[in-house]
């Protein structure tokens, strides 16, 4: 029997809660030729479709395979909402009846006739109309997704940061287990499915004399970490591991089922991106500033020179930028991999069909402010952060002949164009929500 208690995982692909922003259904610029070289560039004209505003901090966005239902998860507000692409509110689940005791929602897994929602201590199955069909209670740390047989894929809990740094008596762990749990309630049996490389993940700056059993220190994630990334698929009952600490530009993707069987593996050679001296300098200055402030709070004031020296010693700098900085398994059946590259003001992503060993990656350009959350074959959904606004949602149209997406200033290299607006969407019942929608390109 294994009973682990704690919050959800905080590893490389763990669910995060970005600051409040606008969740945007926004367009992307895509190199659609399967034979195009990875380094190729091409200009695209984009138009906005629409955005849905009025959310708080958005943790997850999942889009139905048909693109007709957009699920938005707000952990801090303890709310899940479902929207049509036109901005109509279809379902709102928020602290009523049995939901009030479930805590925070973190993610959803879509089904043909509803969805599973991951809460702090429960997986809850809802119908498309929001009716509760089933509840599964668990007491496991790091639960990621529920499987078709009601098993659970989860991450093993990592020790405290001081142990990760090697400052305690025990050796720092180099790997984190992905576990498959079978059981009910508090009685679960676990098998190890895979191991994630977690070296170079934790940054620590210590301010005491190294003799204390309780280090007084500042901890963060290494800015240039090349630890493994991962993604979980409850439908297929698998975990995907993205290794990025090999040769410069090399990415190794492996998908493993809950039974431990490898069902897909692919090695990608993406462009290698050097870490510039100015980038290292900016990072050191930022860390030194944080270190000085932390030292002051902990009663160990330090000079600017000492804070800089500590930051330089703590920073891990690999040979080149990790080839991938973010990974998303999308509704389109693709894997979206964010590169360390930049194209002017645009972020660079590569997409590959999961399970496919032949098709060349597509090169996708997104505005740097666009936080991708999910994508269908024709559109991408993501978050536009805006500290002065609540959240909204944007649509990205992908097509061989053109693209639909967020209007960008001319100086960014994206061309804006105007077209008559579509009829207004049916008004939402949500008072905070604001919705705008513009026409698609002619």
Residue 347: the pLDDT is: 87
């105007």: which residue's tokens?
418
Closest CA to 407 of 45, 86, 87: 45
Longest dimension (CA), the chain: 69
The span from the CA of 358 to the CA of 254, in Å, is: 15
Closest CA to 273 of 185, 332, 334, 338: 338
Closest CA to 124 of 137, 111, 142: 137
For residue 169, is it left (φ>0), alpha (ψ between -120 and 50) or beta?
A: alpha
Ordered structural domains, the chain, with CATH: 21-275+318-437 (2.120.10.30)
155 and 232 Cβ atoms separated by less than 8 Å: no
Torsion of CA 284, 285, 289, 290, to 10 degrees: -40
For residue 52, is it left (φ>0), alpha (ψ between -120 and 50) or beta?
A: beta
The tokens of 305 are what? 């020179």
CB atoms within 10 A of CB 289: 14
The span from the CA of 64 to the CA of 111, in Å, is: 9
Strand partners of residue 183: 188
26 and 382 Cβ atoms separated by less than 8 Å: yes
For residue range 152-162, what is the model confidence (pLDDT) as tens digits?
A: 999 999 999 99
Burial class (CB in 10 A: 0-12, 13-18, 19+), 169: exposed
The span from the CA of 350 to the CA of 323, in Å, is: 11
Residues 229-260: b if buried by 16+ CB within 10 A, e if exposed: bbbbbbebbbbbbbbbbeebbbbbbbbbbbee
Residue 442: the pLDDT is: 28
Q: What does the H/E/C string look like for the chain?
A: CECCCCCCCCCCCCCCCCCCEEEEECCCEEECCCCCCCCCCCCCECCCCEEECCECCCCEEEECCCCCCEEEEECCCCEEEEECCCCCEEEEEECCHHHHHCCCEEEEEEECCEEEEEECCEEEEEECCCCEEEEEEECCCCEEEECCCCCEEEECCCCCHHHHCCCCCCCCCCEEEEEEEEEEECEEEEEEEEEEECCCCEEEEECCCCCCCCCCEEEEECCCCCCCEEEEECCCCEEEEEECCCCCCEEEEEEEECCCCEEEEEEEECCCCCCCHHHHHHHHHHHHHHHHHHHHHCCCCCCHHHHHHHHHHHCCCCCCCCCCCEEEECCCCEEEEEEEEEECCEEEEEEEECCCCCCCCEEEEEECCEEEEEECCCCEEEEEECCCCCECCEECEEECCEEECCCCCHHHCCECCCCCCCCCCCCCCCCCCCEEECCCCC
For residue range 239-290, what is the model confidence (pLDDT) as tens digits?
A: 999 999 999 999 999 999 999 999 999 999 999 999 999 999 999 999 999 9
119 and 111 Cβ atoms separated by less than 8 Å: no
Closest CA to 178 of 145, 147, 156, 201: 156
Residue 394: the pLDDT is: 47
The span from the CA of 232 to the CA of 13, in Å, is: 9
361 and 249 Cβ atoms separated by less than 8 Å: no
pLDDT in tens, the chain (442 residues): 222 222 223 333 333 444 444 555 443 333 333 334 444 433 333 344 667 777 888 889 999 878 889 999 999 999 999 998 888 999 999 977 778 888 899 999 999 999 999 999 899 999 999 999 999 888 788 999 999 999 999 999 999 999 999 998 888 999 999 999 998 766 789 999 999 999 999 999 999 987 778 899 999 999 999 999 999 999 999 999 999 999 999 999 999 999 999 999 999 999 999 999 999 999 999 999 999 999 999 999 999 999 999 999 999 999 999 999 999 999 999 999 999 998 888 889 999 999 999 999 988 888 888 889 998 887 888 887 654 444 444 444 443 322 333 332 222 222 222 222 333 333 333 333 222 222 222 2
The span from the CA of 82 to the CA of 117, in Å, is: 12
């Amino acid at each position: 029997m294994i009973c682990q208690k704690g919050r959800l995982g905080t590893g490389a692909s763990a669910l995060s809660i970005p600051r409040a922003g606008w969740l945007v259904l926004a367009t992307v610029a895509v190199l659609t030729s399967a034979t195009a070289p990875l380094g190729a560039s091409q200009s695209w004209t984009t138009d906005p479709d629409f955005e849905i505003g009025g959310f708080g901090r958005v943790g997850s966005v999942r889009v139905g395979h048909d693109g007709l239902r957009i699920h938005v998860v707000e952990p801090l507000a303890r709310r899940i909402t479902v929207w049509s692409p036109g901005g109509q509110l279809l379902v709102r689940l928020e602290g009523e009846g049995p939901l009030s005791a479930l805590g925070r929602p973190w993610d959803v897994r879509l089904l043909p006739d509803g969805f599973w929602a991951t809460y702090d201590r429960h997986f809850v199955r809802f119908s498309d109309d929001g009716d509760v069909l089933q509840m599964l209670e668990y007491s496991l740390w790091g639960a990621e997704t529920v499987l078709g047989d009601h098993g659970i894929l989860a991450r093993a809990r990592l020790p405290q940061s001081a142990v990760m740094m090697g400052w305690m008596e025990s050796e720092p762990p180099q790997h984190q287990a992905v576990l498959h749990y079978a059981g009910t309630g508090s009685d679960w049996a676990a098998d190890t499915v895979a191991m994630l490389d977690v070296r170079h993940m934790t940054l620590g700056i210590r301010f005491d004399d190294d003799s204390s059993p309780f280090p007084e220190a500042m901890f963060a994630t290494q800015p240039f970490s090349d630890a493994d990334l991962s993604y979980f698929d409850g439908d297929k009952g698998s975990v995907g591991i993205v290794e990025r600490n090999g040769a410069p530009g090399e990415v190794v993707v492996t998908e493993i089922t809950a039974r431990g069987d490898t069902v897909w593996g692919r090695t990608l050679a993406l462009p290698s991106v050097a870490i510039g001296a100015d980038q290292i300098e900016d990072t050191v200055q930022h860390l030194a500033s944080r270190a000085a402030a932390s030292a002051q709070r902990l009663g160990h004031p330090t000079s600017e020179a000492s804070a800089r020296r500590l930051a330089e010693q703590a920073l891990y700098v690999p040979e080149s930028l990790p080839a991938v900085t973010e990974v998303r398994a999308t509704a389109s059946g693709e894997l979206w991999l964010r590169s360390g590259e930049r194209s002017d003001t645009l972020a660079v992503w590569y997409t590959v069909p999961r399970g496919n060993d032949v098709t060349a990656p597509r090169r996708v350009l997104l505005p740097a402010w666009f936080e991708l959350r999910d994508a269908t074959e024709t559109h991408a959904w993501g978050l536009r952060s805006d500290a002065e606004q609540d959240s909204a949602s944007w649509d990205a149209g992908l097509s061989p002949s053109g693209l639909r997406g967020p209007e960008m200033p001319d100086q960014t290299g994206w061309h804006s164009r105007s077209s008559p607006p579509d009829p207004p969407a049916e008004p939402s019942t949500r008072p905070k929500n604001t919705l705008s929608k513009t026409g698609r390109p002619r």
